Amino acid sequence: MPPTEATTVRRWSTRSRAIQVRLGRWVTTATYTQKWLVLGTIIGVIAGLGAVVFYEALRLATYVFLQVLAGYRVPLPVNEGSRIASAHFARPWAIPLIACVGALAGAVLVFAIAPEAEGHGTDAAIAAVHHNPRGVRMRTVFVKIVASALTIGSGGSGGREGPTGQISAGFGSFLARFLDLSPSDARITVASGIGSGIGAIFGAPLGGAVLATEILYRDDFEVEALLPSFIASIVGYSVWGSFEGFGPLFGYVGNYHLTNALQLVWFGVIGILGGLIGLLYAKGFYGMSAFFSRLTIPRWVRPAIGGLIVGCIGLAIPEVLGTGYGWIQAGLGSQLMHIPLWIVLILPFARIATTGLSIGSGGSGGIFGPGMVIGAFVGAAVWRLLEPVVPSLGHDPAPYVIVGMMACFGSISRAPLAVMLMVAEMTGTLSLIVPAMLAVGLATLIVRRNDDTIYRSQLRSRAESPAHRMLTGLPLLAIVPVSDAMAPARCLLSSSEDPNTFATRMEQVGVSAAPLVDHQGRYVGVITLASLAKVTEEVVQESQVPIDTTFAPIHRSVHLNVVLETLTSTPQTWAAVIDDDRHVVGTVSISDIVRNYRRSMQANLRRISELGGTTGISEVLVAENSSIDQAPVRSAAIPRGVLITAIERGSDVIRPNGDTIIQPGDRLMVLGTPDDLAILGQLASSTSR
């Protein structure tokens, strides 16, 4: 008798989980080098392939929309064909319509399937690293590819690095879910995906690797991600180059030699202007975004309005259409003199406006690329204005265009080192490092003084990161295994049961979510009451049950620092605890961690007090109608030498202040001398009458 469709699905599901179990065991037992050589390679392959797929989709969309339908050929940089732009529009009336239709199609796709794919992507990827590295849905990856290709390919002002970074981060998030990676490993995986994807599509693997560590914070680095990002970026660039060719995006742009210290003055001017224009870029982009968010029209219509306006601007200034990388190439050589001066001067501001219209309106695309165009033409404008009157400036605009790119976006992205390296790799030259250091340094000082950034999901430093902040203040968590703190699962659901009974079972025990296991008892995911409420009563098969796989299970051998990191870096407040075979052996929540931490602290303090000294720790149970019952801590007759560190009240742990009312049944955690503690014990047990 042939197997039914449900049986086939069950078999594939069982095989997939068996593979998942074996891979999860290997990751748990592998050394640091083994783990990141394998994971970094996988991330790099995915990032490289993702970059290739998106680049080809964007190239196809650009060809169809602009070249075939509008009769306009966009310029290309050296490594993509070295093509100059069309001298005029064959069908100028089509440009605004095409930009509008492309933006509209991308917006409909985004808001119908994956609203999180809205915008420039890099911010969403940064937020995922900090708050939920396992939570990026795979559908976001595919929607981002198509929507960004439609938006940019039809003439929208956007870059391709944001979509590529979010695509690679999405695959990294899937890998973290599939292998049940620890929160720290999941963050590194997603961060490495961002850097390797951007590094691949720009042909800048070193800059991409450094970007993965620098872009997460305004004033700090995620140093743990550096080595994994090196591996992922090398592999990603190798995959990219195998399909699209190796070499710098803009070719090998000359060899600049600093021969006169006075030349640094002009690079300093570019740095100051780059910082100011960078601030204008950030404020203009988010100002435009705020304007569109206030419009009382459907969200999917807003990008179409922005696209229509961009198309109209493009009729007068074709340099605002698409990625603009071909125009950077023109600015690096003699073609710059063929661009009217008024366009060179106005283009940075026009790009700021059109990027806000294209991406700030809700369209899908990156803001890194437009930032490079803006910076490039800041440098080009300085050179065009000063070259006739300052002979020492030189006759080559390339150094000033390159430094302009570094200064403008390196400062406002708060990733000056990574952007310097990326632009150096994209132009095939390191000879501009000294002028670039001056310009980028000045631009960064200006941006820091205003405390702004183009990436609003960046945290200021590791001290503000939820995971790093919590673990720094609770050092004992690193030595306590989760098995010491876990509790029995209050409700355990099985795929072999009738799914229609899940909601009733959870309501009976008073939980809003419960772990689901397969017919072999292996952890599958989490079922929530909220998701069941959205499903019809016809749910009868496991494949139809809404399973949340973003809930990270915890292996019973890990320590509480990993558990706390999981629970603070994701929306979940509890986790299932599993054994080597992924069987659920219990659950652990933040309140379990707090109680266990208190017990561990008490045990350590008791050991210290037993070794000598006059101060000890104790627990005091408050009796009903005792001398301190219903009294505020401030006015209770507590000996002056006693410090109440915490109050355990039922399942809650309270940090007391002077106004906290002591209640019967409270368990006071106190420090003091033996005599004072004895007095407090008597007060808590004796009646006040």
Say which residues have a Cβ less than 8 Å from residue 544's Cβ, sequence separation at least 6: 499, 535
Please name the residues in contact with 545: beta carbons below 8 A apart, sequence gap of 6 or more: 495, 499, 502, 516, 527, 535, 539
Enter the pTM of the model. 0.77
| CATH code for residues 466-588 | 3.10.580.10
Are 368 and 395 in contact by the 8 Å Cβ rule? The answer is: no
pLDDT of 611 reads 44
Angle, helices 416-427/398-412, rounded to nearest 10 degrees: 150
What's the per-residue H, E or C state across 165-191? HHHHHHHHHHHHHHCCCCHHHHHHHHH
Locate CATH 3.10.580.10 in the chain. Answer: 466-588
Q: Which pLDDT belongs to residue 14?
A: 62
The C-alpha angle 570, 9, 499, rounded to 5 degrees, equals 60
Residues of the chain with pLDDT under 50: 1, 539-543, 611-612, 689
Closest by CA to 194, choosing from 364, 37, 46, is 46
**Residues whose CB is less than 8 angstroms from the CB of residue 432 and which lie 6 or more positions away in sequence, other chains included:** 256, 399, 402, 403, 424
Residue 86 is classified by DSSP as P
Dihedrals φ, ψ of 211, to 5°?
Answer: -60, -35
Long-range contacts of 17-26 (CB under 8 A, 24+ apart): 17/518, 17/522, 17/524, 17/582, 20/178, 20/179, 20/180, 20/582, 21/522, 21/581, 21/582, 23/178, 23/179, 24/179, 24/180, 24/582, 25/580
C-alpha 489/C-alpha 583 separation (Å) is 12
| Residue range 613-685 in CATH 2.30.40.10 | no
Q: In whole angstroms, what is the distance from residue 228 CA to residue 129 CA?
A: 15
pLDDT value for 62 = 96
Q: Outline which parts of the chain fall under CATH 1.10.3080.10.
A: 31-246+259-462
Q: What DSSP assignment string belongs to 531-566?
A: HHTTS-TT--SGGGS--BTTSPPEETTSBHHHHHHH
pLDDT of residue 290: 94
User: How many angstroms separate the CA atoms of 499 and 538, rounded?
Assistant: 10
Apex 467 CA angle, 33 and 421, nearest 5: 60
> For 100-162, what is the HEC assignment?
HHHHHHHHHHHHHHCHHHCECCHHHHHHHHHHCCCCCCHHHHHHHHHHHHHHHHCCCCCECHH
The CA distance from 188 to 172, in Å, is 9
DSSP assignment of 213-238 equals HHTTBSS---GGGHHHHHHHHHHHHH
C-alpha 216/C-alpha 404 separation (Å) is 23
Neighbours of 476 (CB within 10 A): 15
**Residue 687 DSSP symbol:** B
- Sheet with 513-517, edge to edge strand ranges: 493-494, 513-517, 523-528
CATH T-level fold of 31-246+259-462:
Clc chloride channel (1.10.3080)
DSSP, collapsed to helix, strand or coil, labels residue 163 as helix
pLDDT at residue 474, as a whole number: 58
Structure-derived torsion over alpha carbons of residues 417, 423, 425, 426, reported in degrees to the nearest 10: 160
- Residue 339's pLDDT is 94
Q: Rounded to 5 degrees, what angle do the CA atoms 378, 383, 388 make?
A: 150
pLDDT in tens, 629-656: 888 887 777 887 677 777 887 766 676 7
Q: Where in the chain is the domain with CATH 3.30.70.1450?
A: 613-685
Burial class for 461, CB neighbours closer than 10 Å (0-12, 13-18, 19+): middle
**Terminal-residue alpha carbon distance, the chain:** 83
Predicted local distance difference test score (pLDDT) of residue 163: 86
Number of neighbours of residue 669 by Cβ within 10 angstroms? 21
Buried b (16+ CB within 10 A) or exposed e, 598-616: bebbbeebeeebeeeeeeb
CA 514, CA 575: separation in Å to the nearest integer? Answer: 9
